[in-house]
């Protein structure tokens, strides 16, 4: 909801299968999906040109095979989204696999040195999120900034759907992607927010399970233990940071994962835990991201012990170069979400969360 855009919500109800769900979402949001595909420079200038090369074919074939076989219903959902929106299937595949493809795109040495590479990294960035987690006697919250590339401004929406077992999920969704690579919850009492993490390239395994399929699977978790199993067990290509919540049990855990089935778990407590976009407790070789390190340093200077102070932290702009609340030109805070386990609500704020302008208050149970 950056730049004043409203966040639309769609209830797909109970669909016959994955394809039907994707088709319904694609039809409902066809205009916004097509708009995102037109404006997404990472797709237009990097992913699509690479996908046309012979070098890309084995990687794309392996990714499609692994994820179609591992999650056939979600693959059908992806195909339905393409058909419903009228967008080429390849475009939908590429935006859903972007984190698994971008590391393998050869860099053109003619484009310059360190400065050019830094600019390219910033243009690729589309998941620089910030979270603060607290579970104390008086407060049990996860507060999250959903930060994304400029191409995502006005290109997100909320999807609700009823699962075959009668449970339902609600998910903040990037246009054309599976729900949700951002945050969501289901009526089983499982909620989550996500943070990308930056392993170095030799930590990435080519052609295996994609993060968008793992986070889609999270929406169907039966309980916290099942959610942890769903994020820790797949043989993923690229790792991720998951903030998993048991609404009824009043628990929050941060789970960091990496390729080759590595993971580490940290339980939230009364001591606020801030997570940006670097691994905090899993030992993985990673890119030293100045943006994340600056946000972590600023968070350490702030006292957080309540919903109000958590929202103030996520609205902080004290660091002009790398603020926690982002306003461009490349990265924007698309929205802020506050998950309150005691109230069983997920509140989505538009604009700076310091202002308390709630766009949606969603009941989780």
**The pLDDT value given to residue 116:** 40
Q: How does pLDDT run across 188-233, given as a tens digit for each residue?
A: 999 999 999 999 999 999 999 999 999 999 999 999 999 999 999 8
Q: Is the pLDDT of residue 299 over 80?
A: yes
**The pLDDT value given to residue 121:** 45
- Vertex 184: Cα angle to 252 and 123 (nearest 5): 100
Model confidence band, residue 108 (pLDDT cutoffs 50, 70, 90): confident
**The pLDDT value given to residue 122:** 42
CA separation (Å) from 298 to 129, 251, 254, 295?
A: 14, 26, 20, 5
Query: How confident is the model over 175-189, as a mean pLDDT?
Result: 97
**Starting from the edge strand earliest in sequence, which strands make up the sheet with 273-275, in order?**
273-275, 130-135, 140-149, 331-340, 345-349, 358-363
**The pLDDT value given to residue 123:** 43
Query: How confident is the model over 45-66, as a mean pLDDT?
Result: 98
**The pLDDT value given to residue 5:** 63
Q: Is the pLDDT of residue 291 over 80?
A: yes
**The pLDDT value given to residue 110:** 56
Q: What is the mean pLDDT of the chain?
A: 93
Q: Is the pLDDT of residue 115 over 70?
A: no
Model confidence band, residue 275 (pLDDT cutoffs 50, 70, 90): very high
Domains, the chain, with CATH or none: 1-365 (3.60.60.10)
Model confidence band, residue 255 (pLDDT cutoffs 50, 70, 90): very high
List CB contacts of 163: < 8 A, sequence separation 6 or more.
Answer: 169, 186, 220
Tell me the C-alpha distance between 331 and 59, whole Å: 28
Q: Is the pLDDT of residue 109 over 80?
A: no
Alpha helices (H) in the chain, listed in sequence order: 18-28, 30-39, 41-42, 48-51, 56-70, 72-85, 89-96, 98-101, 114-124, 211-218, 224-232, 290-300, 307-314
Q: Is the pLDDT of residue 107 over 70?
A: yes
Q: Is the pLDDT of residue 293 over 70?
A: yes
Nearest to 189 by CA among 144, 250, 125, 129: 250
């Amino acid at each position: 909801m950056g730049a004043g855009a409203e966040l639309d919500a769609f209830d797909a109800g109970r669909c016959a299968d994955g394809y039907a769900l994707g088709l319904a979402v694609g039809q409902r949001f066809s205009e916004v999906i097509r708009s995102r595909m037109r404006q997404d420079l990472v797709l237009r200038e990097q992913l699509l040109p690479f996908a046309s090369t012979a070098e890309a074919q084995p990687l794309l074939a392996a990714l499609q095979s692994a994820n179609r076989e591992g999650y056939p219903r979600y693959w059908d959902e992806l195909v339905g989204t393409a058909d419903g929106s009228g967008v080429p299937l390849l475009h939908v595949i590429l935006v859903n696999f972007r984190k698994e493809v971008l590391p393998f795109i050869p860099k053109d040495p003619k484009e310059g040195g360190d400065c050019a590479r830094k600019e390219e990294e910033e243009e690729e960035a589309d998941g620089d999120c910030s979270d603060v987690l607290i579970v104390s006697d008086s407060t049990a919250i996860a507060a999250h900034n959903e930060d994304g590339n400029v191409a995502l401004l006005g290109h997100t929406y909320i999807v609700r759907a009823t699962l075959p077992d009668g449970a339902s999920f609600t998910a903040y969704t990037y246009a054309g992607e599976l729900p949700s690579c951002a945050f969501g919850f289901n009526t089983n009492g499982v909620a989550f927010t996500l943070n990308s993490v930056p392993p170095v390239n030799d930590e990435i395994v080519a052609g295996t399970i994609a993060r968008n399929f793992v986070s889609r699977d999270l929406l169907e978790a039966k309980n916290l233990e099942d959610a942890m199993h769903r994020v820790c067990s797949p043989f993923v290509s690229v790792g991720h940071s998951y903030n998993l919540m048991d609404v009824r049990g009043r628990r929050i855990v941060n789970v960091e994962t990496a390729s080759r089935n590595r993971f580490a778990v940290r339980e939230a407590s009364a001591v606020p835990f801030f997570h940006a976009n670097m691994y905090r407790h899993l030992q993985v070789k990673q890119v030293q991201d100045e943006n994340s390190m600056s946000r972590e340093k600023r968070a350490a200077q702030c006292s957080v012990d309540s919903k109000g102070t958590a929202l103030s932290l996520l609205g902080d702009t004290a660091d002009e170069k790398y603020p926690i609340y982002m306003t461009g030109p490349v990265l924007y805070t698309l929205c802020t979400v506050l998950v309150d386990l005691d109230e069983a609500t997920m509140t989505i704020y538009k604009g700076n969360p310091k202002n308390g302008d709630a766009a949606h208050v969603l009941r989780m149970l």
